[in-house]
Amino acid sequence: MTTSPAVPRTKTSVNNPRPSPQWWLALAGAVLLIASAFLSWCYVPALLGDLSIDAFPGGLQILMIIVAVLAIFFLVLRSGRMPSMDTLLDSAKALKALSATAVAFMVLVAIVIALQAPGLANANPGLFVGIVGAALMLAGSWQMASDPLVDPITVRLPGWVEILVIVVMMAIILFGAAYALGQEDGTVFCLFLVFLGGVVAALARGGLFSWISVIAARHRQVLMMGALAVAFLFPFTQNGSDANMSIATQVLIFATTALGLNIVVGLAGLLDLGYIAFLGAGAYVSAMMSHSAFAHIGWKPPFIVVVIIGAIVSSILGLIIGSPTLRVSGDYLAIVTLAFGEIFRLTVNNLDGNNGPRLTNGPNGIPGIPDLEFGAFNFGDTHTVLGIPLGRFANYYFLMLIVAGFIILVFTRLNNSRIGRGWVAIREDEKAAEAMGVNTFGLKLFAFAGGAFLAGMAGTIKAHQDVSVTPDQYIFLESAFLLAAIVLGGMGSVAGVLVGATVLKLLPEKLRFVADYRLLIFGLLLVVMMRFRPEGLVPSRRRALEFHADDQELADRVEEVHLEIAADPDTAEAKA
Amino acid sequence: MSMLEVKDLRVAYGKIEAVKGISFSVGEGEVVCLIGTNGAGKTTTLRTISGLIRPSSGEIWFQGKRIDDVPAHEIVMLGLAHSPEGRRIFPRLSVEENLLLGAFSRTDSGIKDDLQAAYDLFPILGERAKQPAGTFSGGEQQMLAMGRAMMSRPKLLMLDEPSMGLSPIMMQRIMATVKTLQSQGTTILLVEQNARAALKLADKGYVLEVGHIVLDGTGRELLVSDEVRKAYLGED
């Protein structure tokens, strides 16, 4: 097998041997921006953290320092001092995006000061210095021309450099997440989002992410270990505070459920609109067999048995729903699962002893579910590890992390297996798959019941984490959110679904002041996504190809990545 | 005993009967072809044999086992492969993935060798093993479809219009491959509109017209028969 000859797309000429006036203009802007961060922006200390102190950058001002430092980094690239990096990254596009971010950020800060201080009279000179700096950056970078780039796949840096890049990226994610969660103020959080979105866009436009994704494909093991380490270390950054850990645990439960649904939707291509009912089935089984005073089943087996029973009950429900409907085409399944979700909700609402057996206490649900206990380890207690207290939510967080890891393992194993190939074939052309000897009905049923199994498993833990189980936790809207997380993040992609689930669960927690418009915002977000990036935020390569079938360059890339991976036996598993 | 035996097969789409009671047989090691115009029921017959559609009546026997109510995926396991009309390759999967899907019914360890065998049969597939199959030309896609069907190690290979939309040179290439496969011991049931090319290499042929078999004989007999020459070969 030979690599197709790489098209030599090296740089033809170094852009500017001597920096142009634009370059100096942008540099001056970046320096001004940094300088402004050391000045006071506002007289009112209570506003936006505290921006009123000279010579001591407050939280938001540090964000602008980061933007400016990044801009200077790209400016240095442009001066041709680091030719190997320069051919990888498009400094002009990155600079434009960074400048636009800085301008937007500074203007927004000014608006917030004008509205909340109130009045721009409360602004200090530092704010205007910053605005001028940002504007200069934008003016300087606006006319910069992009240079031709080399395809990152043809670039090989020493292995340790690439691994270092991954480690640094992971560390940034860890501290970024801890910082973002630490922002109590909604306005500050919004401004942080502007900063984050702008910087991510800038780095993406600069080509950093396509380079990183190539590196990540080469070092998949390192990436997985790194992601796991970040997730594992996160509770240690919270100093025992339960406020953020509770959100993080909610996010993780939501993400874990979405990962299970991703097997059904993303791999097997089955539209399941009632997936939350399977989570609910697991949760109710767990609650009914717990030591809660409101649990009416006399049998209280050890938790590990409950997990298995909950998962099996869930998958039996999946079989009951799936076996008649999976024989017919996809639309029917969507409608039947939608109905099933409602049936589940109504059923648990009514099994209160009046209309049926007394199992669920109807609308009141089953409260007072005690914390889990494995031997002497009680999940309700705070445990101190290395001097850092880890509270109740951190305990559940670690448990969910194990479940999430298990589901990711199942997902990737299936995706790269014969069964995974069968699912892809069914998605692509069901009739042809059947002619190839793919047991289409059997495989679809397996995906459906398997997904239900995983959701049931997660549900048994969720019941204990939530303390109570009520019917209104398992409504259609939740199923829709799960599906939205998958569509937003990227169907069939583990990383995508994690990102999508985090965004969908985290934003409402942090943006409580727009809670009333939550659905409106999500709806708009999805419409915008469908228009501009239908494959999701972090798509799997195959999905990207499905949405851009006539993109020859993308097709070539898929091929090249395959070749690259095939040439490297270590990563042979790591298919896109 | 023949390898495949179709007895009084009737297939209907709703109220419309597409195949109206046909019987034919395919002997071991033979190339048998079904010819006929559009709508004669050729494709329906193949789809019924491979279990994709259920017959309304009649029997299908494969190697002494009745298969007309066996699920499609089990029929593949019995050794009956179907290369469907219009090739139906998976355009966004790589060539190799397409071929591996052909071997989906197998779990033995010989798949790698058969992959190599497919690449030997059609070298272009090996050269472009990692390329999405949708980027192939029609002829290359047909090669892939045949290679894919052979990946299940079939005893009987059913080819539905392999020459459709191909250049004359590519068509000759495909027909030569049919001959090669036969010489390697595969029995072949061929459906073709290109009657001349098909009958030239067929041991036996059946002529279908609106759901009935109107004529049968050896390939040579049919090639020279007046009816076939007038109706299908465009000769006077």
The yes-or-no verdict on residue A156 having pLDDT over 70 is no
Cβ neighbours of A563 in B, within 8 Å: 130
How far apart (Å, rounded) are the C-alpha atoms in residues A506 and A392? 19
The yes-or-no verdict on residue B23 having pLDDT over 90 is yes
pLDDT the model gives residue A240: 67
Cβ neighbours of B89 in A, within 8 Å: 432
Strands B65-66 and B212-218: unpaired
Residue A369 DSSP label: P
Strands A377-378 and A373-374: antiparallel
Cβ neighbours of A440 in B, within 8 Å: 73
Report how far Cα A92 is from the mean position of its chain's Cα atoms: 28
Among chain A, residues having any CB pair with chain B shorter than 8 Å are: 1, 418, 421-422, 424-425, 428-429, 431-440, 442, 542, 545-546, 549, 552, 555, 558-559, 562-563, 566
Does B131 map to a domain?
no
The yes-or-no verdict on residue A568 having pLDDT over 70 is no
State the pLDDT confidence band at B188, using cuts at 50, 70 and 90: very high
Q: Is B43 on the interface with A (CB under 8 A)?
A: no
The residue assigned the tokens 């303390």 is A467
The percentage of chain A sitting over the pLDDT mark of 70, rounded to a whole number, equals 84
Residue scoring higher pLDDT (B220 or A553): B220
Does B108 map to a domain?
no
Q: What is the pLDDT of residues A52-66, one digit of tens each?
A: 666 667 777 788 888
A167, A63 contact by CB (below 8 A)? no
Q: Minimum mean pLDDT among A86-90, A415-419, A553-557, B212-216: which range? A: A553-557
Q: A545 and B104: CB-CB below 8 Å?
A: no
Report how far Cα A256 is from the mean position of its chain's Cα atoms: 11
A502, A255 contact by CB (below 8 A)? yes
Q: B135 and A438: CB-CB below 8 Å?
A: no
What residues have CB less than 8 Å from A421, skipping those under 6 apart?
A: B97, B100, B101, B104
The yes-or-no verdict on residue B204 having pLDDT over 80 is yes
The residue assigned the tokens 């419409």 is A527
State the pLDDT confidence band at A1, using cuts at 50, 70 and 90: very low
Helix or strand (DSSP H, E) at A49: none
- β-pair partners for B158: B82, B189
Q: Which of A416, A419, A436, A443 to mutate to test the interface with B (most CBs of B within 10 A)?
A: A436
Residue B101: which of A421, A440, A546 has the nearest Cβ? Answer: A421
Beta-sheet strand order (sheet of B212-218): B80-83, B156-160, B187-192, B31-36, B204-209, B212-218
Q: Which of B43, B46, B104 to mutate to test the interface with A (most CBs of A within 10 A)?
A: B104
B157, B189 contact by CB (below 8 A)? yes
A289, A300 contact by CB (below 8 A)? yes
Q: What is the pLDDT of residues B29-44, one digit of tens each?
A: 999 999 888 888 899 9
The yes-or-no verdict on residue A569 having pLDDT over 80 is no
Q: Which of B92, B111, B115, B125 to mutate to test the interface with A (most CBs of A within 10 A)?
A: B92
Task: State the total domains in chain B.
Answer: 1
Does B139 map to a domain?
no
Domain around B42: 4-89+155-231
The yes-or-no verdict on residue A464 having pLDDT over 60 is yes
Q: Which two tokens stand for residue B126?
A: 């090996």
CATH, residue B198: 3.40.50.300
Q: A437 and B134: CB-CB below 8 Å?
A: no
- β-pair partners for A469: A366
* Mean predicted confidence (pLDDT) in B141-162: 90
The residue assigned the tokens 């309304």 is B56
State the pLDDT confidence band at B173, using cuts at 50, 70 and 90: confident
Q: A432 and B88: CB-CB below 8 Å?
A: yes
Residue A75's identity, in one-letter code, is L
The yes-or-no verdict on residue B132 having pLDDT over 90 is no
A239 sits in the region (left: phi over 0; alpha: psi -120 to 50; else beta) called: left
The percentage of chain A sitting over the pLDDT mark of 90, rounded to a whole number, equals 9
Distance from the Cα of B159 to chain A's closest Cα (Å) equals 12
pLDDT the model gives residue B31: 92
Q: A439 and B152: CB-CB below 8 Å?
A: no
Q: Is B91 on the interface with A (CB under 8 A)?
A: yes
State the pLDDT confidence band at A575, using cuts at 50, 70 and 90: very low
Does B25 map to a domain?
yes
Q: A435 and B52: CB-CB below 8 Å?
A: yes
**Three-class DSSP labels, A448-463:** HHHHHHHHHHHHHHHH
Cβ neighbours of B148 in A, within 8 Å: 436
pLDDT the model gives residue A31: 85
Residue scoring higher pLDDT (A122 or A341): A341
The residue assigned the tokens 């027909």 is B175
* Mean predicted confidence (pLDDT) in A437-442: 89
Q: Which of B83, B89, B90, B136 to mutate to test the interface with A (most CBs of A within 10 A)?
A: B90
The yes-or-no verdict on residue A550 having pLDDT over 60 is no
Q: What is the pLDDT of residues A283-303, one digit of tens each?
A: 999 988 887 777 777 787 888
How far apart (Å, rounded) are the C-alpha atoms in residues B47 and B82? 8
Residue A326 DSSP label: T
Phi then psi dihedrals of residue A372, to 5 deg: -70, 155
Cβ neighbours of B114 in A, within 8 Å: none
Tell me the pLDDT of chain B averaged across its residues: 88
Overall size of chain A counted in residues: 576
Q: What is the pLDDT of residues A240-267, one digit of tens each?
A: 677 788 888 888 999 999 998 998 888 8
Query: Nearest Cα to A340, choosing from A322, A359, A365?
Result: A322
What residues have CB less than 8 Å from A479, skipping those under 6 apart?
A: A272, A273, A274, A275, A276, A277, A341
pLDDT the model gives residue B24: 93
Q: A559 and B152: CB-CB below 8 Å?
A: no
* Mean predicted confidence (pLDDT) in B227-231: 79
Q: What is the pLDDT of residues A476-525, one digit of tens each?
A: 988 988 998 898 888 888 888 888 888 888 877 777 777 778 788 888 88
Residue A566: which of B88, B91, B130 has the nearest Cβ? Answer: B130
pLDDT the model gives residue A152: 65
Compute the Cα dihedral for A69, A71, A76, A77 and give only its sign.
positive
The residue assigned the tokens 């259609």 is A476
The complex scores an ipTM of: 0.85
Number of A–B residue contacts, CB under 8 Å? 86
pLDDT the model gives residue A11: 41
* Mean predicted confidence (pLDDT) in A267-281: 90
Q: B76 and A425: CB-CB below 8 Å?
A: no
Compute the Cα dihedral for B73, B79, B85, B91 and give only its sign.
positive
Does B100 map to a domain?
no
Q: How many CB atoms lie within 10 A of CB A478?
A: 20
State the pLDDT confidence band at B55, using cuts at 50, 70 and 90: very high
Q: A436 and B148: CB-CB below 8 Å?
A: yes
The residue assigned the tokens 């190997």 is A84
Does B150 map to a domain?
no
pLDDT the model gives residue B44: 92
The yes-or-no verdict on residue B4 having pLDDT over 90 is yes
Distance from the Cα of A68 to chain B's closest Cα (Å) equals 43
pLDDT the model gives residue A315: 93
The yes-or-no verdict on residue A4 having pLDDT over 60 is no
Does B9 map to a domain?
yes
The SS3 assignment for B225 reads coil
* Mean predicted confidence (pLDDT) in A418-445: 88
* Mean predicted confidence (pLDDT) in B182-196: 89
* Mean predicted confidence (pLDDT) in B53-73: 92
* Mean predicted confidence (pLDDT) in A316-328: 87
Nearest residue in chain A measured CA to CA from B125? A1
B104, A422 contact by CB (below 8 A)? yes
Q: What is the pLDDT of residues A6-42, one digit of tens each?
A: 444 444 444 445 568 788 888 888 888 888 878 777 7
Nearest residue in chain B measured CA to CA from A439? B73
Query: Nearest Cα to A61, choosing from A28, A46, A39, A43?
Result: A39
Strands B57-62 and B65-66: antiparallel
Query: Nearest Cα to A417, choosing from A443, A391, A388?
Result: A443
Report how far Cα B79 is from the mean position of its chain's Cα atoms: 13
* Mean predicted confidence (pLDDT) in A128-150: 79
Helix or strand (DSSP H, E) at B192: strand B187-192
Does B197 map to a domain?
yes
Q: A421 and B102: CB-CB below 8 Å?
A: no
Q: A425 and B107: CB-CB below 8 Å?
A: no
Q: DSSP for A452-505?
A: HHHHHHHHHHHHHHHS-B-GGGS-HHHHHHHHHHHHHH-TT-HHHHHHHHHHHH
How far apart (Å, rounded) are the C-alpha atoms in residues A310 and A313? 5
Report how far Cα A500 is from the mean position of its chain's Cα atoms: 4
In degrees, rounded to 5, the angle at the alpha carbon of residue A75 between the alpha carbons of residues A72 and A78 is: 160
Q: A434 and B72: CB-CB below 8 Å?
A: yes
The runs of H, that is alpha helices, within A9-124 are 21-37, 59-78, 83-86, 91-116
Strands B31-36 and B204-209: parallel
Strands B156-160 and A377-378: unpaired
> How many helices (H) and strands (E) would you count in chain A?
22, 4
Residue B94: which of A435, A552, A562 has the nearest Cβ? Answer: A562
Nearest residue in chain A measured CA to CA from B78? A437
Residue A516 DSSP label: G
Residue A441's identity, in one-letter code, is F
Q: How many CB atoms lie within 10 A of CB A7?
A: 10
How far apart (Å, rounded) are the C-alpha atoms in residues B202 and B223? 10
Phi then psi dihedrals of residue A511, to 5 deg: -105, 55
Tell me the pLDDT of chain A averaged across its residues: 79
Nearest residue in chain A measured CA to CA from B47? A435
Q: Is B48 on the interface with A (CB under 8 A)?
A: no
* Mean predicted confidence (pLDDT) in A93-104: 85
